[in-house]
């Protein structure tokens, strides 16, 4: 029985995690499946083919793809930063109207021009994902955000059309702007958490001096090394792969492996580990393990696996979120009807309903535990403590 890890696309909250997990767990040949929101990965045990798993996940409204690389790739924060700054820049003038003493008032048409690109431009992703999930009979955080900001914008337009003086465009725009800010901060935290893992893998050098049959040394990419190759490592260079000393004596700094600051004497027959540094004199070594089979790569894989592990508290949060969003939608509808009937003002009934949608977004519920685990393990790795 094999275990495979895949990348999952389209997830934004704990409700998405439950939908993807359910799709994978009900696929034929799957014995266990676990999905992590912070790392956007799915670990699947069983005999099911990738094509069958991808089809089930796509039927649920998400995407399943092979991991592009064993090396962690930090998320490109540029687009998220630009969306955040764009939304905050257009929202700030409307929020400034609420500051006492400024006596600032923007005309309704200007508020409409400021709020519309924020809600339907910068926040377009919320609406796209919400509609896609609705087509599959699902609801998530995006559903709440799209409904909350969309309804607030629509009622503000209605108020402006009726000539109401105090409009609510800032409500819709601020909701999107603040959530985009949270999304950016979340992405930055996850990116920093992978920096330690990337730094661990970057200990291995990009090239090595492979010995030729005539005794000369040819510089080649480390990816072209194979078990049995002989490599010369000069003083100050990093050992490119796991192996054993064939000739020479030197001291090797193994602090990245053991934490010990003093170098270790190495001679013929002694083991060498990729990522450690040679001092004193050159060594000739025979390669025994390369790439993912090296101890350095296995250490990085253990850190990545620990970052993607699911704590019991996270599993509980995911189960709660599965029913949380539908319950909030029902409560918001009931709130709107109750305020309309009992309060006698349908024009004002939307405010408490939208407020309920906004404050109930289960972002922290699904992300608090996995992001904390991810950042904590990354911080430990930077200090030389590896968690498996």
Contact 157, 112 (CB under 8 A): yes
Considering the domain architecture, whether residues 196 and 212 belong to the same structural domain is answered as no
The per-residue pLDDT for 36 is 79
pLDDT tier, 386 (very low <50, low <70, confident <90, very high otherwise): low
Considering the domain architecture, whether residues 176 and 306 belong to the same structural domain is answered as yes
Give the mean pLDDT of 2-23: 81
Residue 388 falls inside a structural domain: no
Considering the domain architecture, whether residues 281 and 334 belong to the same structural domain is answered as no
Last residue of a domain, one of 253, 271, 293: 293
* SS3 call for 373: helix
Considering the domain architecture, whether residues 222 and 270 belong to the same structural domain is answered as yes
The per-residue pLDDT for 226 is 93
pLDDT at 268 over 60: yes
Q: Where are the alpha helices (DSSP H) in the chain?
A: 14-25, 50-59, 78-96, 108-117, 124-135, 141-162, 169-201, 255-258, 295-307, 312-343, 346-359, 363-382
pLDDT at 358 over 90: no
Residue 273 falls inside a structural domain: yes
Give the mean pLDDT of 177-188: 84
Pairing state between β 207-211 and 230-233: antiparallel
CA distances from 184 to 28, 30, 45, 179, 361 (A): 37, 34, 32, 9, 16
pLDDT at 220 over 90: yes
Considering the domain architecture, whether residues 178 and 306 belong to the same structural domain is answered as yes
Considering the domain architecture, whether residues 213 and 188 belong to the same structural domain is answered as no
Considering the domain architecture, whether residues 158 and 221 belong to the same structural domain is answered as no
Considering the domain architecture, whether residues 216 and 354 belong to the same structural domain is answered as no
Considering the domain architecture, whether residues 134 and 174 belong to the same structural domain is answered as yes
pLDDT tens per residue across span 132-168? 878 877 777 788 888 889 988 998 898 899 888 788 8
Contact 317, 369 (CB under 8 A): yes
The per-residue pLDDT for 189 is 74
| Structural domain that includes position 257 | 207-293
Highest mean pLDDT among 144-148, 319-323, 369-373: 144-148
Give the mean pLDDT of 16-29: 86
Selection from 174, 197, 169, 192 nearest residue 107 by Cα: 169
Structure tokens at 334: 């009931």
Q: Which residue has the higher pLDDT, 228 or 196?
A: 228
The per-residue pLDDT for 262 is 87
The per-residue pLDDT for 218 is 92
The per-residue pLDDT for 388 is 59
Residue 72 falls inside a structural domain: no
Give the mean pLDDT of 314-319: 62
Last residue of a domain, one of 238, 271, 293: 293
Considering the domain architecture, whether residues 192 and 316 belong to the same structural domain is answered as yes
Give the mean pLDDT of 231-251: 93
The per-residue pLDDT for 196 is 65
Give the mean pLDDT of 339-363: 77
Residue 139 falls inside a structural domain: yes
pLDDT at 287 over 90: yes
Task: Please count the structural domains in the chain.
Answer: 3
- Other Cβ atoms closer than 10 A to 150: 19
Cα separation, 283 vs 234, in Å, equals: 7
Considering the domain architecture, whether residues 377 and 276 belong to the same structural domain is answered as no
pLDDT at 1 over 60: no
pLDDT tier, 235 (very low <50, low <70, confident <90, very high otherwise): very high
Contact 293, 300 (CB under 8 A): no
The per-residue pLDDT for 134 is 83
* SS3 call for 253: strand
Q: Which residue has the higher pLDDT, 244 or 36?
A: 244
The per-residue pLDDT for 261 is 80
pLDDT at 85 over 90: yes
Residue 366 falls inside a structural domain: yes
pLDDT at 221 over 60: yes
Ramachandran region, residue 10 (left: φ > 0; alpha: ψ -120 to 50; beta: rest): left
pLDDT tier, 383 (very low <50, low <70, confident <90, very high otherwise): low
User: Which DSSP string do the residues of 164-230 spell out, in sequence order?
Assistant: -SS--HHHHHHHHHHHHHHHHHHHHHHHHHHHHHHHHHTTS-SEEEEEPTTS-EEEEEGGG--TT-E
Q: What is the CATH number of the domain that holds 52?
A: 3.30.70.100
pLDDT tens per residue across span 340-351? 888 767 777 888
Last residue of a domain, one of 33, 66, 99: 66
* SS3 call for 288: strand
Residue 71 falls inside a structural domain: no
Considering the domain architecture, whether residues 83 and 159 belong to the same structural domain is answered as yes
pLDDT at 127 over 80: yes
Residue 87 falls inside a structural domain: yes
Cα separation, 45 vs 54, in Å, equals: 14
The per-residue pLDDT for 245 is 94
The per-residue pLDDT for 45 is 86
Q: Which residue has the higher pLDDT, 42 or 138?
A: 42
pLDDT tens per residue across span 293-310? 888 888 777 776 666 666
pLDDT at 317 over 70: no
- What is the average pLDDT score of the chain? 83
The per-residue pLDDT for 119 is 96
pLDDT at 330 over 80: yes
Highest mean pLDDT among 126-130, 182-186, 214-218, 242-246: 242-246
pLDDT tens per residue across span 207-216? 999 999 888 8
**Bridge partners of 287?**
243
Residue 164 falls inside a structural domain: yes
**Bridge partners of 250?**
266
Using CB atoms within 10 Å of the CB of residue 295, give its burial: 0 to 12 exposed, 13 to 18 middle, 19+ buried.
Answer: middle
* SS3 call for 91: helix
Q: What is the CATH number of the domain that holds 266?
A: 2.70.150.10
């Amino acid at each position: 029985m094999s275990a495979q890890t895949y990348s999952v696309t389209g997830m934004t909250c704990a409700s998405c995690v439950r939908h993807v997990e359910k799709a994978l767990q009900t696929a034929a040949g799957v014995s266990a499946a676990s999905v992590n929101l912070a790392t956007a990965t799915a670990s699947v045990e069983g005999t099911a083919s990738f094509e069958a798993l991808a089809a089930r996940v796509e039927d649920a409204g998400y995407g399943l793809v092979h991991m592009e690389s064993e090396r962690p790739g930090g998320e490109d924060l540029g687009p998220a930063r630009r969306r955040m700054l764009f939304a905050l820049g257009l929202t700030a003038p409307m929020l400034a109207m609420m500051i006492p003493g400024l006596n600032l008032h923007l005309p309704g048409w200007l508020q409409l021009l400021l709020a519309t690109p924020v809600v339907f431009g910068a926040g377009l992703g919320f609406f796209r994902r919400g509609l896609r999930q609705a087509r599959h009979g699902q609801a998530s955080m995006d559903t709440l955000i799209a409904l909350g900001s969309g309804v607030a914008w629509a009622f503000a337009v209605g108020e402006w059309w009726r000539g109401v003086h105090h409009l609510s465009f800032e409500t819709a725009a601020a909701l999107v702007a603040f959530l985009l800010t949270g999304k950016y901060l979340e992405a930055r935290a996850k990116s920093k958490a992978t920096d330690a893992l990337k730094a661990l893998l970057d200990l291995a050098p990009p090239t090595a001096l492979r010995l030729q049959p005539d005794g000369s040394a040819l510089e080649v990419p480390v990816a072209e090394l194979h078990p049995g190759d002989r490599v010369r490592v000069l003083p100050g260079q990093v050992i490119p792969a796991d192996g054993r000393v064939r000739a020479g004596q030197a001291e090797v700094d193994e602090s990245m492996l053991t934490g010990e600051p003093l170098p270790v004497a190495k001679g013929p027959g002694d083991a060498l580990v990729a990522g450690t540094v040679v001092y004193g004199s050159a060594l000739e070594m025979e390669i025994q393990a390369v790439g993912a089979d090296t101890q350095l790569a296995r250490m990085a894989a253990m850190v990545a696996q620990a970052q993607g592990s699911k704590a019991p508290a996270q599993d509980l949060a995911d189960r709660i979120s599965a029913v949380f969003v539908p319950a909030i939608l029902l409560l918001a509808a009931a709130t709107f009807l109750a305020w309309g009937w009992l309060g006698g003002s349908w024009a004002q009934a939307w405010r408490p309903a939208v407020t309920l949608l906004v404050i109930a977004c289960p972002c922290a519920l699904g992300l608090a535990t996995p992001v904390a685990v991810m950042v904590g393990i990354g911080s430990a790795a930077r200090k030389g403590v590896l968690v498996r």
